[in-house]
Amino acid sequence: MLPHRDMLMSGSHMLRRGYATSLLPPQLPVPRPMPQPKSIPLPGKGNIRTPTDFLTASKRGYEQYAAKIAPEESWDTFFTNDTTSLKAAAVPPPARRMILWMMNRYRLGVDLREHVRAPKKPKKFRGWGPKVQKGVRVK
């Protein structure tokens, strides 16, 4: 008489069919480490003393959002903002990303004047390809 089919299976094949999981003791979930709260840096690096000064340093016109983001000009309130609070303040997504990037760079101690990115220039011609090369129409 031939042995049963399951008895002839190799160990890896048994794993694929789910036999080996019932033999192992149940594992407890591994606790994830809690993220540390982001630090609030001290004001006064360079000429940046208020949230309005901070947003003006970007040179992108973000000081118009200063009244919405930190209405009482509080440094602590400004640096506790996250994506959801900026979204609730009706800040558009590109400005949100740039403001949060600048806040993170400032927390790391980087001078904002060194890392200000200029806005992209508008395209002169629509489309790409052989008809437009280096901004000049080619016939």
Indicate whether 32 belongs to any domain. no
Query: 73 is written with which tokens?
Result: 């000009």
- Write b or e for each residue in 30-69: b if 16 or more Cβ atoms lie within 10 A of its Cβ, otherwise e: eeeeeeeeeeeeebeeeebeebbbbbbbbebebbebbeeb
Is pTM beyond 0.85? Reply is no
- Three-state DSSP class for residue 105: helix
Across the range 29-56, mean pLDDT stands at 79
**How many domains in the chain?**
1
Residue 63's Cβ-side half-sphere holds a number of Cα atoms within 13 Å equal to: 10
- What's the pLDDT tens digit per position in 78-127? 888 889 999 999 999 999 999 999 888 888 888 777 766 677 777 766 66
Domain with 66 in it? 51-113
Indicate whether 3 belongs to any domain. no
- What's the pLDDT tens digit per position in 15-42? 555 555 556 666 778 887 876 767 777 7
- Dihedrals φ, ψ of 18, to 5°? 95, 10
Indicate whether 12 belongs to any domain. no
